Structure 1
Amino acid sequence: MMKMVSKFTLVAAVATLAIAGSAGESMAKGKKAAAACTPGALKTAACGPAGCTMQRCWADGKWYPSLVACWQPWCPK
């Protein structure tokens, strides 16, 4: 019984390392391609007479709509 448990644990550890290695490689490739923006950054998307809508950069390096809004004189460029 103990041999079977240790074999199962070994197989699970090897599988986990294989998955982590492949995920790390794909994440490294994604970070190189996703250098478009700094995660957490905000930018002005569209402005109207009353205010502007904003977009936020996420960890994947893409811009997404944000709930943050600003008024004309204080909007970031």
Structure 2
Amino acid sequence: MTVEQIAKGFGVHPMTMFEWLCQAGIDAGAEPGVSRTDEVELREARKRIKLIEQENEVLHRAAAYLSQANLPGKALPRS
């Protein structure tokens, strides 16, 4: 059975089937390339890094605000 016949059986274009087969080889480690698992982990790591950078910025701003409040003659502004 050819890839074209299998693709037709799945109702997809033969190039789609070739791409799936190629990605399956990469994911299995049989071919060089970036696996889908690596892509997902990288995307999640970038999200965590962004969140940590945002949290760090909040802490820097809070520290700067509080250090200004502790200067002599300065009082915390009231909301």
TM-score of Structure 1 vs Structure 2, range by shorter chain: 0.3 to 0.5
Q: Structure 2-normalised TM-score? A: 0.43
**Structure of greater Rg:** 2
Q: Higher helix share goes to which structure?
A: 2
Quick one: higher RCO (CA 8 Å, sep 6+), 1 or 2? 1
Q: Structure 1-normalised TM-score? A: 0.44
